[in-house]
Amino acid sequence: MAKMVCILLMVLAGASVLGARQADEPDVKSKIIALERLSKMQAFAAKDVKTLDQLLDKNFVLVNPDGKVETKADLLLFVQSADSLQYTVGVMMVRVHGDTAVATGLYSLTGVQHGNRLSYRGRFVDTWLLKEGQWVAIASLTIADE
């Protein structure tokens, strides 16, 4: 009987943790949307590599619209070397899976780098991880519309 009570308490404890996570899901979605829309948009426009450095995990990987795989260092160098950048996010959905969130949506990136105009418009998939109490981007896939 004591064993049965112990098992029941463990199941109830697990259910309450799961319930707490589900209750926090709207907060997590709002946080990820804010990180996508405000932080990245402002950081790109201001060439704020310090903010981007904090948002991106040290092992961050990006598949750019040309299909090239880039690292965090590559992305930070791109932002630093651009003459101007404007990054905007349109329609977006966030799905939360425990300590992981996946944001999908539409984006636009325009700017000038080394005198060349840049213009990308398409879809993105960003994967975020709650790491040491902070949400960080661990992977991004961008697909340009043709």
Other Cβ atoms closer than 10 A to 85 = 19
Write down the domain spans for the chain.
Answer: 2-144
Q: Tell me the pLDDT tens digit for each residue of 30-79.
A: 999 999 987 788 898 899 999 999 999 999 999 998 899 999 999 999 99
| Residue 25, pLDDT score | 84
Residue 100 — left, alpha, or beta (φ > 0 → left; ψ -120 to 50 → alpha)?
beta
CATH class label, 2-144: alpha beta
**Range in 6-15, 23-32, 37-46 the model is least confident about:** 6-15
Nearest to 83 by CA among 45, 130, 132, 123: 45
Q: Tell me the pLDDT tens digit for each residue of 78-132.
A: 999 999 999 899 899 999 999 999 999 999 989 999 999 989 899 999 999 999 9
